Amino acid sequence: MAGSRSVVLAALFANGAIAILKFIGFLLTASPSMLSETYHSISDTGNQVFLLIGIRYGKREADREHPFGYGKAQFFYSFVVSVLLFGIAGWESAKHGFNQLTSGGHGGGGHGTIEFLGFVYEPSFGFDPVLVNYTVLLLGIAFETYAFKKAYAEMSRQMEANDWATLREAFRKTSDVTTLTALTEDTIALGGLVLALVGIFLTQQTGIEAFDQAAALLIGIMLMGFALALAWENKRLILGESLPADDERELRDVVADWEGVARVVDFRTVYFGPERVVVTADVEFAPGFEGAEIDEAISAMEDALKETHTGVRTVYIEPEV
């Protein structure tokens, strides 16, 4: 949990600084891709705040209304982040780029008219405005690389701890959606910065404004695509996903191989927060096992299940007659 919080704080610092830099760059150059990147960074900054709220809320102790704790709060707030990433950063970026392309708008080199929040003006300069964009984007890449390294280090630690071979497997199996969201955002952010840099460079070299405008559109499409994938991953956990099949099989085998157990009638696992798993099992004991022996066996099995998987917090074993 501490690792997730440090990842989010690093991303919050990086995105806040970059949002200010990008907006200054847009005001000075009228670049469509710089405005798209401004929307992106503003959205990311707000998203980190939501993730921190999720971490804080998820730490609350279990009570009568929430007997398994508040861990699912992180799933909910990460889902909110994915919606905002799609609706604000992605949609606004794509819409701005598309409007610029279809309306023949100008930008990217400081030669265009800026339209923002109903205000229209044409900037004038005593310097080459493209250098502003290059400076802002390169600084942005430096900030985002710092945030990305923090998120990637935490995800790598989890991959090593869980024997996940690839990032794709980690994306599919992890319950730490806070780190997953931060890593996804940082990856998109770096990709968006590179797209904006390429678009502005091509516009500068060729004089064709469509390169910068197309970069803005592509940034928006990329954001919406990743947001949908993130929402899907959060949905599975909000709905109550079980442990991955191989992990659940390992836990089931602990019970099935226990002395005195004749048959495991039913076995279920479900996430109630990042690395917070509830296990329930219906177990049929062999003839002759009864009373105190069954109670001792159940207590020992509960301890063994928690030792087998560190995420197991609560175990309910029901003896079957």
The residue type of 86 is F
CA torsion, ordered 224, 207, 22, 189, to nearest 10 deg:
40
pLDDT digits (tens, 9 = 90+) for 278-313: 999 999 998 887 788 889 999 999 999 999 998 899
Domain 245-320 class?
alpha beta
pLDDT computed for residue 280 by the predictor: 95
How far apart (Å, rounded) are the C-alpha atoms in residues 114 and 28? 9
pLDDT digits (tens, 9 = 90+) for 135-176: 888 988 888 898 899 889 989 988 888 888 888 888 888 888
Q: Whole-model pTM above 0.95?
A: no
Range with the lowest mean pLDDT among 36-40, 54-58, 273-277? 36-40
Domain 2-238 class?
mainly alpha
Q: Is the pLDDT of residue 121 over 70?
A: no
Share of the chain above pLDDT 90, in %: 17
How is the chain split into domains, by residue range? 2-238, 245-320
Residue in this structure with the two tokens 């560190």, named with its chain if needed: 310
Number of alpha carbons in the 13 Å side-chain half-sphere of residue 109: 14
Q: Among the residues of the chain, which ranges form H helices?
A: 2-29, 32-58, 73-84, 91-103, 129-162, 167-173, 177-206, 210-238, 245-256, 292-308
Q: Is the pLDDT of residue 86 over 90?
A: no
